[in-house]
A and B are shown apart, each in its own frame.
Chain A
Amino acid sequence: MLNINDLHARVEDTAILHGLNLEVKPGEVHAIMGPNGAGKSTLGNVLAGRPGYEVTGGSVTYKGNDLLELEAEERARAGVFLAFQYPVEIPGVSNMEFLKASVDAIRTARGDDVMSSMDFIKLAREKCKAVDLPQDFLKRGVNEGFSGGEKKRNELLQMMLLEPSLCILDETDSGLDIDALQVVARGVNALRSPDRGIIVVTHYQRLLDYIVPDYVHVLAKGRIVKSGGRELALELEKHGYSWIDEEVA
């Protein structure tokens, strides 16, 4: 589904990714861990097409096509979803309007019929319940005045409504208390399916107690330096990232 080959990227004048390789097949959950500044968020942003992130080498193939050739909105319509580390507040635009516009755009791109407002409201309310967000959050401005945990749950709500093929969660666990973490994990687990790939970017192994990954990768200095199964995350938890630094050196 996703093939990243020798990816180099920079943000403004700083080179961040230095030859990153990763393959994600449908049905797999990959965790990407690493110290601060390793390039974890850059990876998510490059895949989603955020302006300012410039690819300087390598390739990314998604479902057989060159992902890097697509505009950000085209990637979303092709099924790529980035759950933001810092979701944006958009006062004056209601969450419901935003969600409907987004779901309409993506359903249209997939060739599905646009949902009626009534059906959509029903579905949105149902999904709100699943992520433990009160329904009045649908009427509020997008992320406006939401707490950190509420913003992350709102990202999850969007993900559930859009049903992407490839989900990238960029430090979705940061700033969450244990209850919120469980809600988020439950949501992500509900999205696990044989035809969907999931990349969980995280600094801490804690999240992986709840979302059990098939593969764990350690990202350091812009490259994946170690890959393994779930046990790798536990080792990292025990020894910290300095252990990797030593090993790589």
Chain B
Amino acid sequence: MSDPMQAEQAHQGLQAQSDWGWLKDWRASAWSQFAATPWPTRKTEAWKYTPLKSMLDTEWSLAEQPGTGTGTVFEDWDRTVITLVDGKVADHDALPEGVTVRLLSKATPEQRAQFEDRLAKTLAGDQLFTTFNQALLAEAVWIDVAPETVLEKPLHINQVLSSSANGRAVPVRLMLDLGARSQMTLVETFSSESDGPVFINPVTEIDVGDSARLTHYHLLLETGDVRHLGSVQAVLRAHSQMNSFHMALGGVLKRKDIVVRHCGSGAHLQLNGVYLPKGKEHVDYHTTLEHEVPHGTSNEVFRGIIGDEAKAVFNGRIHIHKDAQKTLAELSNKNLLTSHKAEINTKPELEIYADDVKCAHGATVAQLDKGSMFYFLSRGISRQEAEVMMSFGFINELLETLDDEPVKQLLRPMLASLFAKEDELARHLV
């Protein structure tokens, strides 16, 4: 048995509190799997550049009583909010018609049966910390959107770690099932008011039904001593569309595994993301696109700015299965290093088993462009201010593609202040 995180006690404690036999078995099987997996080392391919040493310096326990916290607030955006503090639902707005929410912790006997069905065919993968999430799962929010439903207001899952969450492990699962031809916007935000260390372990599962459309934001806005290890798994059914935007500010350790499967033909995925570690922070995105059926299209663009002594990892895999003819898939990853001690490990991977497809991928690592710099200087702008504006512009290019103005309004000032050590340098950006 391998349990270097010493989480077995937490798992057993959780099991002892429950009278739900099926759930206990489901968690126990995950625990066996987690414990049987050798703890990752430098030689473990999936964790080669992301050491997990820092996960072992704390004896993690599950939160019993959640604290209080506000989380992320958008100005002037009419939305339906569900707030989770320390992994427990603290508050939620009235739900619009066509939307059903079930909570694992409050499941009625009838809902228990539904959960058993749904969890048995989980979309989630078998990444180490997806398995961990299953083994210690106390809460899952399951959102079901009826076919044909068009939600005017975005649904905001507002996750916050409270100031009393220090030393806590917070596994939480979100499941979103979009019925055929439904349309909605899902906003997931993660923030922390804890001094840390704190460990959030979220898993998001999304099923985008036939011809459904989803706009999705997954924003890791925590800073400080937060370890965020989690995954997003999405399945695209026939002719569905998913437009997904990811962002990670720094934090001691962040790792997100994103897997999107084209399971129905003719679906389209736009997957964009930005990561911005500084100081000694570490951010790792591992993305996988599984084209399992013909006529799917995917376009993926990730950009990172890595400063100071920070490290980032980007691994972008595209897997075109043998039947996935006429697939169009593109992946671009660009990185800007703003310090000599900053580090990026980027690796695009293409695996193609079909012969009639178009695929392109590319990764670049660069410093700020000298020609652009001279343009700023020749207009009297200082080198420092030019650096801030160029860094901001590099990321802002992706923000500009977002449909929702309130998201841009939330993120733009965050970015501006991130790049500018003095506010004065960012005065032209907000």
A residues lining the B interface (CB < 8 Å): 48-51, 71-73, 75-77, 81-82, 84, 87-88, 90-93, 97-98, 100-102, 104-106, 109, 141-142, 158, 162
B395 nearest in chain A by CB position: A92
Choose among B370, B377, B396 the residue that contacts A73 (Cβ–Cβ < 8 A): B377
Return B39 CB to nearest CB of chain A, in Å.
41
CB-CB under 8 A for A72 and B393, given A97-B429, A98-B379, A106-B380: no
Tell me which residues across on chain B come within 8 A of A81, comparing CB atoms: 378
B377 touches A97 (CB 8 A): no
Chain B contacts with A in 83-99, Cβ cutoff 8 A: none
Tell me which residues across on chain B come within 8 A of A98, comparing CB atoms: 376, 379, 389, 428
A101 touches B375 (CB 8 A): no
CA–CA, A72 to B371, complex, Å? 13
Using an 8 Å CB-CB cutoff, how does the interface string of B259-288 with A read, 1 for contact, 0 for none? 000000000000000000000000000000
A87 touches B370 (CB 8 A): no
B378 touches A93 (CB 8 A): no
Scoring B371, B374, B394, B397 by chain A CB atoms within 10 A of each residue's CB, the highest score goes to B374
A51 touches B396 (CB 8 A): no
A88 touches B377 (CB 8 A): no
CA–CA, A81 to B379, complex, Å? 7
Q: Is B381 an interface residue (CB 8 A)?
A: yes
B380 touches A92 (CB 8 A): no
A88 nearest in chain B by CB position: B375
CA–CA, A51 to B374, complex, Å? 8
Choose among B374, B377, B378, B397 the residue that contacts A91 (Cβ–Cβ < 8 A): B397
Q: Is B423 an interface residue (CB 8 A)?
A: no
Q: Is B385 an interface residue (CB 8 A)?
A: yes
Q: Is B383 an interface residue (CB 8 A)?
A: yes
Tell me which residues across on chain A come within 8 A of B429, comparing CB atoms: 97
Identify 23 residue pairs between A and B in the complex whose beta-carbon atoms are under 8 Å apart, listed by A's number: A50-B374, A51-B370, A51-B374, A72-B374, A73-B382, A76-B378, A81-B378, A82-B378, A92-B394, A92-B396, A93-B392, A97-B429, A98-B389, A101-B376, A101-B389, A102-B379, A102-B380, A105-B379, A105-B385, A106-B379, A106-B380, A162-B379, A162-B380
A114 nearest in chain B by CB position: B427
Q: Is B116 an interface residue (CB 8 A)?
A: no
Choose among B375, B377, B385, B400 the residue that contacts A87 (Cβ–Cβ < 8 A): B375
CB-CB under 8 A for A90 and B380, given A97-B429, A98-B389, A100-B428: no
Tell me which residues across on chain B come within 8 A of A109, comparing CB atoms: 380
A93 touches B396 (CB 8 A): yes
CA–CA, A92 to B429, complex, Å? 10
B397 touches A102 (CB 8 A): no
Return A43 CB to nearest CB of chain B, in Å.
15
Choose among A49, A73, A87 the residue that contacts B381 (Cβ–Cβ < 8 A): A73
Return B382 CB to nearest CB of chain A, in Å.
6
A84 touches B379 (CB 8 A): no
CB-CB under 8 A for A72 and B377, given A88-B372, A97-B428: yes
Tell me which residues across on chain A come within 8 A of B378, comparing CB atoms: 48-50, 72-73, 75-76, 81-82, 84
Return B417 CB to nearest CB of chain A, in Å.
15
CA–CA, A84 to B375, complex, Å? 9
Return B380 CB to nearest CB of chain A, in Å.
4
Q: Is B390 an interface residue (CB 8 A)?
A: yes
Given A73-B378, A105-B381, output 5 extra A-B contacts at Cβ < 8 Å.
A50-B374, A81-B378, A98-B376, A105-B379, A142-B375
Tell me which residues across on chain A come within 8 A of B371, comparing CB atoms: 88
Using an 8 Å CB-CB cutoff, how does the interface string of B379-410 with A read, 1 for contact, 0 for none? 11111010001101111110010000000000
Return B43 CB to nearest CB of chain A, in Å.
39
A104 touches B375 (CB 8 A): no
A164 nearest in chain B by CB position: B380
B400 touches A102 (CB 8 A): no
CB-CB under 8 A for A101 and B381, given A84-B375, A88-B372, A88-B375: yes
CA–CA, A98 to B380, complex, Å? 11
A141 touches B397 (CB 8 A): yes
Return B308 CB to nearest CB of chain A, in Å.
22
B395 touches A77 (CB 8 A): no
